């Protein structure tokens, strides 16, 4: 590597350079190929290890791991359906809150923001991604949960009189699916907004000018010319945020209430698969218990794979439909 | 800074335990100055006391002991695999777990005692409320849902309790604290044993799960009407309001170091001479006993493969059970009753140091 760069600087030895450059190229190729192979090998070996450790539980319990709702370690039943439900619902709530916010931030920063504001706001939004999740969890316990319990939750229940609808039923203690969704939304937001901002900024100027030249207002220009052009990138960003939300452990464990029960109410406590593993792994001594936790990990692994596959497919189909 | 130190210690421990695994068959006496002499892993609950023990003992004798507080389950696993010299646990090993241990029979050495206290948040109360095992079980299984329930008020004459809902907060992570608490309810309340049972994690009929003592305490502090359970040491250091609990003799006792030691003394009276100390002392007899108490154990192999290390371990445990015990009360751990400590030391003498393989 150093030889190659030294020859780049050495202008008098161009003849030699071609020959050595090809050797350098060869080495470079091998090094990058090794890097490229190590990562997939790592993913495969992790998957193999998880499924091997999960196998005893799948063999003994079968699909009841994902279909049964009874998680009772002492009684030997391991049904993680509430955790599966909680993972999907908390992530969905997070995306419902985060997506419009993040895209709004991205559109403002790329289209409307004065130049002096763009850098600091963009930096602060990105900074959200750098905060450790345990800090989010503490903030959730001491700030978010009291706020939800005293200000936010009474609003739909008492002011709008929706307390009888399934979505807002039950006592509002604070730790809940809603709290988990809000925390996850804040954590997923910087990913969605950073990617969206980049792709919006990458939309060619000609695209905007053409729309304006046709008499479009600014809003019509963004809606009809900019966003469709950037759509596949924005979807990619949303999927990145979803990936973050599905796997998040610490912050969610601290605010979701850790109750393995399926409830339609956003005010009810829930559980996620990542929290279940984090809570029980360190004290699991019984073999079937350990294996069942690994099985939950395997299911989470498969779900993230599916989400990534869907993301790929969405990005692909959106960019193809635009090409037509 | 502390995190850095802990990380460095853990790295050391990993390095040393690997070395130990490789050399264990060749009775190495190379554990010299600068390296760690003994490694252990297990319960987080006694860790503050143990770390004080280890640093004091290193200062006195030069024997360095490294301990990873990874949880009782992890301690049992690592000891069974033979990757550490001793384990530590808040709940005794089951017969099944004992059978799986690769190094042969395991001895349970009780070191100190801990207790679990019921904490609550009822605004406006100044004196501790009193509860019985039955009332605690009814609250934690959802049969009592209001503070003004007569099953609570009848235990607290003269105290005005509000008509608000009770929010039960329990541990969400597997924990020796949960084991002790549910062990007590299982022993004292027949309905509990047939419905919920005992374990490091159980299927709670009601309530919210919070992670760690700090999680439970935080949730209880924040929510008016909440009730939960944490370790005595944690509750005392954070000045949480604790309930007084009626013991087997019918007297309501507020948890304290002396009341916990009294529980051990009460239980020790009925102990057979050849006990393996895998005993539960919840709901112990004796008028001054606090009923939700338990030993915490250090686990060692009966047959030590390495005579040098084995000797160091036995010497340390002897010191811990004599001088070490005096350091327990200031840290809110209850020492073993004196007559019991000497019996446990007699048990140490049965450790076999020269088991040739």
pLDDT of residue A159: 84
Sequence-separated (6 or more) residues with CB below 8 Å from residue B153: B159, B161
The boundaries of the domain holding residue A254 are 64-323
- Residues B8, B12, B14: CA angle, nearest 5 degrees: 120
Structure tokens belonging to residue B309: 């290390």
Closest chain B CA to residue A277: B173
- Residues of B near A (Cβ–Cβ under 8 Å) read 70-74, 76-77, 97, 165, 167, 172-176, 197-204, 207-211, 215, 218-219, 222-223
CATH number at residue A197: 1.10.3720.10
Residue A58, domain member (yes or no): no
Residue A36, domain member (yes or no): no
A269–B208 C-beta distance less than 8 A? yes
Tell me which residue has tokens 């009848």.
B154
Residue A16, domain member (yes or no): no
Does residue B116 sit in helix, strand or coil? strand
How many angstroms separate the CA atoms of B112 and B298, rounded? 10
- B287 CA: distance to closest CA in chain A (Å): 32
Residue A201, domain member (yes or no): yes
Give the DSSP letter string of A75-87: TTEE--HHHHHHH
Residue A3 CA, distance from chain mean position: 42
Structure tokens belonging to residue A128: 């959200």
- Residues of A near B (Cβ–Cβ under 8 Å) read 70-75, 141-142, 145-146, 149, 171, 173-175, 253-254, 257-259, 269, 271, 275, 278-280, 282-285
B119: left (phi over 0), alpha (psi -120 to 50) or beta: beta
pLDDT of residue B28: 38
Q: What's the structural domain count of chain A?
A: 1
- Global pTM reads 0.83
B231-256 confidence digits (pLDDT tens): 998 898 888 899 999 999 999 999 99
Residue A56, domain member (yes or no): no
Nearest Cα to Cα of residue B301 among B343, B259, B350, B231: B350
Chain B environment of A265 (Cβ under 8 Å): none
pLDDT of residue A21: 63
pLDDT of residue B9: 47
Chain B environment of A253 (Cβ under 8 Å): 172, 211
**pLDDT by position in tens, chain A (length 324):** 444 444 455 555 555 555 556 888 889 999 999 999 999 999 999 999 999 999 999 999 989 999 999 998 888 889 999 999 999 999 999 999 999 999 999 999 998 889 899 999 999 999 999 999 999 999 998 899 999 988 888 888 888 888 788 888 888 888 999 999 999 999 999 999 999 999 999 999 998 999 999 999 999 999 999 998 898 889 989 998 999 999 999 999 999 999 999 999 999 999 999 999 999 988 887 889 999 999 999 999 999 899 888 888 888 887 777 655
What does DSSP say about strands B293-301 and B106-120: parallel, antiparallel, or unpaired? antiparallel
Buried b (16+ CB within 10 A) or exposed e, A5-39: eebeeeeeeeeebeeeeeebeeeeeeeeeeeeeee
Residue A260, domain member (yes or no): yes
pLDDT of residue A125: 92
- Mean confidence (pLDDT) of chain B: 86
Question: Which of B71, B202, B223 is the closest to A282 by Cβ?
Answer: B71
A280–B223 C-beta distance less than 8 A? no
Structure tokens belonging to residue A295: 């099985």
Neighbouring CB atoms inside 10 A of A303's CB total 17
Helical residues (DSSP H) of chain B, grouped into ranges: 2-23, 47-61, 72-81, 95-100, 133-140, 150-153, 176-188, 190-195, 212-222, 232-237, 257-268, 307-322, 338-348
Structure tokens belonging to residue A158: 């008492």
Sequence-separated (6 or more) residues with CB below 8 Å from residue A81: A66, A67, A68, A69, A262
Residue A120, domain member (yes or no): yes
- Which stretches of chain B drop beneath a pLDDT of 50? 1, 3-4, 6, 9-33, 356-357
Chain B environment of A257 (Cβ under 8 Å): 208-210
Closest chain A CA to residue B178: A283
Chain B environment of A73 (Cβ under 8 Å): 174, 199-203
A73–B201 C-beta distance less than 8 A? yes
Structure tokens belonging to residue A270: 């829930």
Closest chain B CA to residue A78: B203
pLDDT of residue A287: 85
Residue A282, domain member (yes or no): yes
Nearest Cα to Cα of residue A80 among A201, A308, A260: A260
pLDDT of residue B127: 87
Burial class for A243, CB neighbours closer than 10 Å (0-12, 13-18, 19+) = middle
Structure tokens belonging to residue A98: 């985060």
Structure tokens belonging to residue A14: 């161009």
A253–B211 C-beta distance less than 8 A? yes
The ipTM, to two decimals, is: 0.79
pLDDT of residue A15: 52
Nearest Cα to Cα of residue B170 among B138, B135, B201: B201
């Amino acid at each position: 590597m150093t030889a190659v760069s030294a020859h780049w600087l050495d202008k008098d030895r161009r003849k030699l350079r071609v020959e050595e450059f090809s050797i350098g190229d060869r080495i470079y190729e091998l090094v990058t190929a090794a890097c490229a192979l190590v990562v997939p090998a790592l993913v495969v070996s992790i998957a193999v290890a998880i499924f091997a450790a999960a196998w005893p539980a799948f063999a003994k319990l079968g699909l009841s791991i994902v279909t049964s709702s009874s998680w009772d370690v002492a009684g030997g039943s391991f049904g993680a359906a509430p955790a599966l439900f909680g993972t999907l619902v908390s992530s969905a709530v997070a995306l419902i809150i985060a997506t419009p916010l993040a895209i709004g931030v991205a559109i403002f920063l790329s289209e409307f923001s004065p130049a002096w504001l763009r850098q600091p706001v963009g930096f602060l939004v990105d900074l959200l991604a750098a905060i450790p999740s345990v800090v989010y969890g503490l903030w959730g316990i001491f700030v978010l949960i009291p706020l939800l319990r005293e200000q936010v939750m009474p609003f739909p229940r008492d002011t709008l009189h929706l307390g009888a609808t399934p979505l807002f039923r039950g006592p509002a203690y604070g730790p809940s699916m809603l709290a988990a969704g809000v925390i996850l939304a804040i954590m997923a937001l910087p990913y969605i907004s950073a990617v969206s901002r980049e792709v919006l900024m990458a939309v060619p100027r000609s695209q905007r000018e053409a729309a304006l030249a046709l008499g479009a207002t600014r809003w019509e220009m963004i809606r009809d010319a900019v966003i469709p052009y950037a759509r596949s990138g924005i979807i990619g960003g949303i999927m990145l945020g979803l990936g973050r939300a599905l796997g998040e452990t610490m912050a969610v464990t601290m605010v979701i209430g850790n109750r393995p029960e399926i409830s339609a109410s956003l005010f009810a406590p829930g559980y996620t698969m990542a929290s279940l593993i984090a809570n029980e792994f360190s004290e699991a001594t019984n073999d079937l218990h350990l294996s069942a936790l690994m099985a939950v990990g395997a299911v989470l692994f498969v779900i993230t794979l599916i989400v990534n596959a869907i993301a790929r497919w969405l990005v692909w189909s959106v960019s193809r439909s635009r090409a037509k | 800074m502390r995190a850095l130190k802990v990380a460095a210690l853990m790295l050391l421990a990993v390095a040393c335990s690997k070395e130990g695994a490789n050399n264990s068959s060749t009775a190495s006496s190379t554990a010299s100055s600068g390296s760690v002499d003994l490694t252990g892993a297990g319960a987080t609950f006694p860790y503050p006391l143990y770390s004080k023990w280890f640093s004091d003992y290193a200062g006195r004798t030069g024997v360095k002991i490294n301990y990873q507080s990874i949880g009782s389950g992890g301690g049992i696993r690592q000891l069974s695999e033979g990757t550490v010299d001793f384990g530590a646990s808040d709940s005794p090993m089951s017969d099944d777990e004992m059978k799986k241990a690769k190094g042969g029979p395991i001895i349970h050495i009780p070191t100190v005692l801990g207790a679990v206290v019921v904490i609550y948040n009822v605004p406006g109360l100044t004196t501790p409320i009193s509860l019985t095992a039955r009332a605690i079980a009814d609250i934690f299984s959802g049969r009592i849902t209001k503070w003004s329930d007569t099953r609570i008020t009848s235990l607290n004459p003269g105290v005005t309790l509000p008509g608000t809902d009770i929010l039960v907060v329990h541990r969400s992570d597997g924990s020796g604290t949960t084991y002790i608490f549910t062990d007590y309810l299982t022993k004292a309340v027949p309905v509990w044993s047939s419905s919920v049972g005992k374990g490091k994690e159980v299927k709670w009929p009601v309530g919210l799960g919070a992670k760690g003592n700090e999680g439970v305490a935080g949730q209880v502090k924040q929510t008016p009407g909440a009730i939960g359970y944490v370790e005595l040491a944690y509750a005392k250091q954070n000045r949480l309001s604790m309930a007084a609990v009626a013991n087997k003799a019918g007297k309501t006792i507020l948890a304290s170091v002396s009341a916990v030691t009294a529980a051990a003394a009460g239980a020790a009276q009925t102990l057979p001479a050849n006990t393996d100390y895998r005993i539960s002392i919840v709901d112990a007899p004796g008028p001054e006993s606090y009923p939700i108490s338990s030993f915490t154990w250090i686990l060692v192999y009966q047959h030590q493969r390495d005579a040098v290390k084995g000797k160091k371990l036995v010497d340390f445990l002897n010191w811990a059970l004599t001088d070490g015990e005096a350091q327990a009360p200031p840290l809110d751990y209850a020492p073993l009753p004196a007559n019991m400590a000497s019996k446990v030391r007699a048990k140490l003498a049965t450790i076999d140091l020269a088991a040739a393989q």
